Structures are given as structure tokens and as C-alpha cells.
Structure 1
Amino acid sequence: MQTMHAARNLFASYAGSSPTVRSRSDAHRPLPCVFFLPLRSSIAHSYGIRSLPVTSPPPLLRRMATEHSGAPSGNLTELNTASDFDSLVTPEGYISICGFGSLLSERSARSTFPDLKNFRIGVLRGFRRVFAHVAPIFFERRIANEETGEVSSLSVEPCEGEFLIVTVFEIRKEEVPAFIERENEFRFLSVVPEGLDGTTFPNPAVVCARYSDEEFFQIRCQGSKEIYYQRYGRYNIHKIWRDDILPCRTYLRHCVLAAKNLGKAAYDNFLDHTYVADRKTTIRQYLASAGSGIMEEEPPESLKSRYGG
């Protein structure tokens, strides 16, 4: 009886309205675009994707999803500048990063952050992964296919009832400016991950969430068309966040392999809690239909190590 009572209380603490974002430089406001309706016809319909039965998650994950089916309690804090990150810095001078795509791979994480420490698995509640924005790096590396629309990278966005198996690790505070520059298309949110056993991590972490084109232009580009051109325009990218694109094939394969290397729970979670831009089609469904063959494709020779899972 006590267990049932505790479970009800725990559920109640996570249920409720959608989270809001409190910027350290602005008043708190609802997070835009928490739920989306496609602006064009469904990608799933266009590519003939049928609904497939989703494999049931392991008992532990079923319990986790049941106990914490709502969005994170309280408000989400947005971090706009390097100084905003200071509140997350530990006394030892480290800050936690939450990985959900390529950073599920420790090898990838260390290629970006050679001095990272304490790489581990965690759970992030109230978010889902979505392939819904164009990444210039894929054009630079010539793995984007503009003709087929397979150009998308990955972000997370708040979504009630969802949860993600992620990685968490620490980097030095001095690495934050480079991190912001490298991930400039994202909204930086302070989140509180948990362990697989439900224990809350002692320190909050930064996660790269969905941004918007207007905010990117006004904040990251300071309203400058020249800055926008240098970051995106020179690749003929005029809209970043879109609902009519598909995952970059090489990058998707890399993320799936990285999740698989973490174990079955992380692998199944990635397949079933990650969506293409229509926000209806899971990656498991996509790989079984329009994306079939992606997992058998090798990256270009020069990128085999970088995108090898």
C-alpha cells in the first residue's frame, strides 16, 4: 500500500501543464512549439510508411514510463550566454552535458571533448528526440542529400509522457564558450537527468533542444544577414527548423549504432522514442520502410571513425 501511495505521489509530481522556459535574461515564458502539426502532407504518407508494432520495452523501462508519464516538474531554465552556465558549474569547475545523439558514443564524445570525465548512462524525462533541423556540417562533409531531403540532424523537445535514455558527462567550465559556438543552432536548457534506477543526479546538465529560426537569427546572428550567411546561407539553407526533411543517412546510422553499443535498453529507447520530422513516425518504423538499407551503408572512408557508432 505504501508503495502504491508513493507511486501515485511520484506520478502527480511529474504530471501537469507543459514546462515553461525561464531565461536568465528574460521573464519566464512558455516553451514555443512543444507540440507540432506538419505544415505539409505527412512524410510518413509520402514515403509509404506503415504503422509497425513497437517492441515492448524491458520491464524496468515500462515501470519508468508508467511512474513518470508527465513532463518534468517545474520550469526549464534557458541558458543564453556563457555566464548563464555558471549556475551549473560544480565546485571543482565542471559542467554536465547531456548526450542524446552522436554523443551517445563515448568515442564521439571524446573526439569533441578529449578531457571529459565520468561518462555514464542516464534518463531524461519529458523529452523526445526529433530529426527536424538542417545541419551545415553535413553539407561541409558531403553527407547531406539535398535532392532527397536527407539532411536532418537531431535535437530534443519537451513532450509529455516521453523519456530518453541519454549519456551524461562532465567538461571543464573553460570549454563552455567553444561548446556554445559549436552547437549554436540549439536552445540550451538546464535539465536534471536520473540514473536508470530513478535516482536523481546530483547536478543539473545542459541539453541541446529545439530552437526557432526567428530566435536563431535575432539572438545567435544578432539580426545580421551576414552572420546568417556565414553559418547557413552559403549552403543554400534558408530555413533551419523544418517538418519536411528526413534524417541524414550517415548520421542516423551513427546514432543508432551508438545507442546499440550502450545496450538493449538504450537501443530500443532510441528506436521507439526518436521521430522523423512528422513527429509520428519512429525511427524503428522509418528504418523498416523508407529508411531501409541505411544500417547496411558504410560512411565515406574519411568519416568511418567519426561516424562509426
Structure 2
Amino acid sequence: MISVVGYGSLLSEQSARETVPNLSNYRLVRVPGYRRVFDKVGIVFISRHGMPPDSLELASCSTEAADGIDIIAAQFECSESDFLELYEREHRYRWIEVKTCHLDTGEPSRGRMCTGYSDTDYRLNKCVTEAEYQRRVGQYYAGPLWRRDILPNPRYLAFCLQSAATQGESVLQNFLDTSFTADGRSVRQYLADNPGLIPAEVVEYSYR
């Protein structure tokens, strides 16, 4: 079995089970020394959801090392075959092993988590040929994947917030304060700067 750490939409156990139906031992953990950051172009927003490739609201969530910050994430185990499907879905990320501790008991563990990459490393290490890159990315989008000028995709951000909210107020507050836009604002500040960004019919709670 492979242990996976999810920090965005996988904070919803229902969403995690839709992605990995046979997962086991779903629990909440702290991941010390990392923060979330919305700095990766989400190709799926273009290929499946109709976002124009020149929009700035294309960012999906990644992670990066950050001293003094602990994110609350979900951790679970899955089979090698299920992990390979998850790996394919998250192909544009780099996978790393991180230390975790159970949110309630403090029990230490380790798991695999997606984190930031670079365009050069992605092309060299994950896309063996230019044709593969064209199939995965180029047919939809021509710019860099990892950017500091993009903003969270609103519906994806709403889904991440809802996923955090399903785990309780403390998990939601952690998400708001340990997640950042590519230009360095906390998600809490970003939402305060952009009132009404997340449609009321999408978000069923108050993030203030």
C-alpha cells in the first residue's frame, strides 16, 4: 500500500473516495514546513471547463516548502494500481515524501504529496518526447505551466474551500491562512480583496 497526502480537494473524504474508491484509513494530519500555493496552470480548466487559455484565473493548488507553517491535509492508503491512476491525474506535479502527524493523536507517519515543479524539469523528466508534451499540454495551452502572475480558478478555489469546510472550522481556517496566491497573498486576504469572487450558490458557508 502507498500512503498519499492530499491538501486541496482531497480534504473532502467524499471527493477522495470518488477519486480513489478503494482508499483506506482516511484521516487528517499536519504537514510541517509546507504551505499551499496557487501557482500551477490547471490544464483541465481549459480542456474540460472552457476557460480561455489567456485567462489569469487558471491556477490550481500546489505546495512549497515554508518554514514555520503547518498545513492540515488528508492522508490515506491506496494500492499501487490506484496510486498510478492518481499519479497520472496529477502528472504535472512533482511527488515527494513528507513527514506527517495525526491531527488528533500526534502519531508520526510519512506519505507522498504533490509539490511544485518547473517547466524545464517537467519536459525533461515527465514528458519523454515533444509529442507527449503536445498531447498533454500543448494542444490546449502554449505558455509556461508554473507562473507567478496567475490567480486561483474561482470554482476550483470554491471546491477546495468547501472540502476544507467539510472537516470543520479549524481546518477551513487553516486553509485560509496557509494557502497563498502566486503573488504572495493569503487566500483569506485574496478573498477580502475580491468580495463576491466566489458565487454564493457555489459556496454554502461564510469564509469571513
| Superimposed CA distance per residue, residues 42-79 of structure 1 (whole angstroms, 9 cap, x where no aligned partner) | xxxxxxxxxxxxxxxxxxxxxxxxxxxxxxxxxxxxxx
- 1:289: how far off? 1.7
Computed over aligned residues only, the root mean square deviation of the Cα atoms, in angstroms, reads 1.7
- 1:205 maps to 111
Relative to structure 1, the CA distance from residue 138 to residue 286 in structure 2 (aligned partners, 3 Å threshold; closer, same or farther) is same
Are the counterparts in 2 of residues 253 and 294 from structure 1 also a CA contact under 8 Å? yes
Relative to structure 1, the CA distance from residue 197 to residue 110 in structure 2 (aligned partners, 3 Å threshold; closer, same or farther) is closer
- 1:197: how far off? 4.4
Q: Secondary structure at the match of 2:22?
A: coil
For 2:105 and 2:37, the matched residues in 1 are separated by 24
Is 1:285 the counterpart of 2:192 in the alignment?
no
Is 1:266 the counterpart of 2:171 in the alignment?
yes
Relative to structure 1, the CA distance from residue 274 to residue 289 in structure 2 (aligned partners, 3 Å threshold; closer, same or farther) is same
For 1:130 and 1:194, the matched residues in 2 are separated by 21
For 1:230 and 1:260, the matched residues in 2 are separated by 36
Q: Which runs of 5+ in 2 are unaligned?
A: 204-208
For 2:50 and 2:77, the matched residues in 1 are separated by 30
Is 1:168 the counterpart of 2:95 in the alignment?
no
Are the counterparts in 2 of residues 246 and 277 from structure 1 also a CA contact under 8 Å? yes
TM-score (norm 1): 0.62
Are the counterparts in 1 of residues 93 and 115 from structure 2 also a CA contact under 8 Å? yes
Q: Secondary structure at the match of 1:114?
A: coil
| Superimposed CA distance per residue, residues 79-127 of structure 1 (whole angstroms, 9 cap, x where no aligned partner) | xxxxxxxxxxxxxxx1111010010111111111011111111100000
Q: Which runs of 5+ in 1 are unaligned?
A: 1-93, 300-309
Q: Secondary structure at the match of 1:247?
A: coil
- 1:77 maps to none
Q: Max radius of gyration: which structure?
A: 1
User: Which amino acid in the other structure matches residue 240 of structure 1?
Assistant: L
- 2:206 maps to none
Relative to structure 1, the CA distance from residue 292 to residue 143 in structure 2 (aligned partners, 3 Å threshold; closer, same or farther) is farther
Q: Could you list the runs of 4 or more consecutive aligned residues of structure 1 that deviate by over 6 angstroms after TM superposition?
A: none
Match 1:219 to one of 110, 116, 125:
125
Query: How many equivalent residue pairs?
Result: 203
- 1:9 maps to none
Is 1:119 the counterpart of 2:23 in the alignment?
no
Match 1:181 to one of 76, 81, 88:
88
Relative to structure 1, the CA distance from residue 213 to residue 147 in structure 2 (aligned partners, 3 Å threshold; closer, same or farther) is closer
